[in-house]
Amino acid sequence: MLKAEESQYKTIKVEPQEDFWVVCLNRPKEMNALSKDMRRELEVCFSRLDEDDSVKAVIVTGGDYVFSAGMDIKEMEALPDGEIDDYFKSIIRYLQKIMNCRKPVIAAVGGIALGGGFNLATACDIIIASESAIFGHPELKFGLNPLFDPLWRIVGMAKAKEIAMLGEPIGAMEALRIGLVNKVAPPDRFMDVAFTVAGELSKRPVKALEAVKRISDIVPRLDRGAALEHEFEISALLYSRAERKEHMKRFISELESKKKHRIQ
């Protein structure tokens, strides 16, 4: 279904792998600035990927040299006052489509991820960064507010305030130190690492991964008692699935096989 629609996209490229797909931002001359057309295509693309059960995970990247320089400033500067509400609603729609995707979404960041590009990365579940990656929120310099919610959930309130207010660039190793990114790799290997992570996630039980995504969204809003109850309600639902028995049998079989191999 998806393969026949690849040619319909003008600002992104979609590349199928064995169990996961790669979505590549494709406006190189504009440094992958997030235009209205790109946001619409990302929204459509993620809707289709989410509905396709053969897709187990998704990688979002901008290529080796730039993730995204942010929102399309020329487009924003020319925006009529009467279209402002619709413009920002379109940003909400595409980010929510990525955040609410049932599949794990990995951002593979090479080069700069600024402003809206930074937002796109933090909308994903896992961030793999090239050593050349640079993150930053320069919006305050233009008199605008950076997107704060996904950022503080990742790095904490104090650090998020610092990043949003100062707008200073953050290199890959500093991003790793503060917990903004999950892994850092050399520029010629960061996509390999993203592929490895996506491949591993593709082997995990689908419903269990969906549950982790739901839990990570809901639990931070609950008190400790309610959070504990919610997590075990999810556990009980997963435990009742026939799929769980199959995975447990396979796991025990693999353990026994490893023990026999060590004895020999």
pLDDT at 252: 65
pLDDT at 57: 97
Q: Is the pLDDT reported for residue 201 higher than 80?
A: yes
| Contact assessment for residue 148 and residue 164, using Cβ atoms and an 8 Å cutoff | yes
pLDDT at 242: 57
d(CA 12, CA 37): 10
Which tens digit of pLDDT belongs to each residue from 28-84?
A: 999 999 999 999 999 999 999 999 999 999 999 999 999 999 998 888 888 888 988
d(CA 180, CA 196): 20
pLDDT at 137: 95
Split at pLDDT 50, 70, 90, the class of 260 is low
Q: Is the pLDDT reported for residue 222 higher than 80?
A: no
Q: What is the DSSP string of 3-33?
A: GGGGGG-SSEEEEE-SSEEEEEE--GGGTT-
Of the candidates 99, 5, 15, the one whose C-alpha atom is nearest the C-alpha of residue 50 is: 99
Which tens digit of pLDDT belongs to each residue from 86-118?
A: 989 999 999 999 999 999 999 999 999 999 999
| Contact assessment for residue 210 and residue 102, using Cβ atoms and an 8 Å cutoff | yes
pLDDT at 45: 96
pLDDT at 217: 83
d(CA 264, CA 107): 43
Query: Could you give phi then psi for residue 124, rounded to 5 degrees?
Result: -85, 165
Q: Is the pLDDT reported for residue 192 higher than 80?
A: yes
pLDDT at 255: 62
Domains of the chain by start residue, with CATH = 3-203 (3.90.226.10), 206-263 (no CATH)
What are the E-state strand segments in the chain? Answer: 12-16, 20-25, 57-61, 66-68, 105-109, 112-114, 126-130, 134-136, 170-171, 183-185
Going by their DSSP bridges, the two strands 12-16 and 20-25 should be labelled as: antiparallel
Query: If you average pLDDT over residues 8-24, what whole number do you get?
Result: 94
Which tens digit of pLDDT belongs to each residue from 115-142?
A: 999 999 999 999 999 999 999 999 988 7
pLDDT at 215: 79
Q: Is the pLDDT reported for residue 196 higher than 60?
A: yes
